Amino acid sequence: MTAFKAVTVLNTLSVLAQAVTAGQLMSGGDASLHGLGAGAVHGLGLVQLIAAVLLWRPGRGAGWPVPVSLAVLLLGFVQSMLGGSGAMAAHVPVGMTLFGLSVWLLAWSWRR
């Protein structure tokens, strides 16, 4: 559980950082930080999924964080695709969903 807690904190912070750098990007800021942040979201999303599986199977914990963590990982890739294509009308709501799922996992992991 400790590993899952740690990775959910890092993943949620990386998603939050993406929102901050997106705001800076919209006001003429540098796109490189937003691009680097996308890599962090992808990497941490994968680590979070692995931690969720380990929490569930050998750890005998709850199973529902696995599909939610998978959704976080996949939504991160969808975000990159939408952002790269300039589809901001879809990029923003998917980002909000990604952030909401990340916060949900974070709150659940620390409430236990």
Question: What is the distance between the alpha carbons of residues 54 and 5, in angstroms, rounded to a whole number?
Answer: 12
Question: What is the distance between the alpha carbons of residues 88 and 44, in angstroms, rounded to a whole number?
Answer: 23
Can you tell me which residue has the tokens 């529902």?
64
Residue environment code for 26-55, b if the CB has 16+ CB neighbours within 10 A, otherwise e: eeeeeeebbeebbebbbebbbbbbbbbbeb
CA 2-59-64 angle, 5° bins: 90
For helices 2-26 and 65-85, the axis angle rounded to 10 degrees is 20
Tens-binned pLDDT, residue by residue, of the chain (112 aa): 799 999 999 999 999 999 899 888 888 877 788 888 999 999 999 999 999 999 999 888 899 999 999 999 999 999 999 988 888 889 889 999 999 999 999 999 999 6
Tell me what pLDDT residue 16 has.
Answer: 95
Tell me what pLDDT residue 112 has.
Answer: 67
Tell me what pLDDT residue 24 has.
Answer: 84
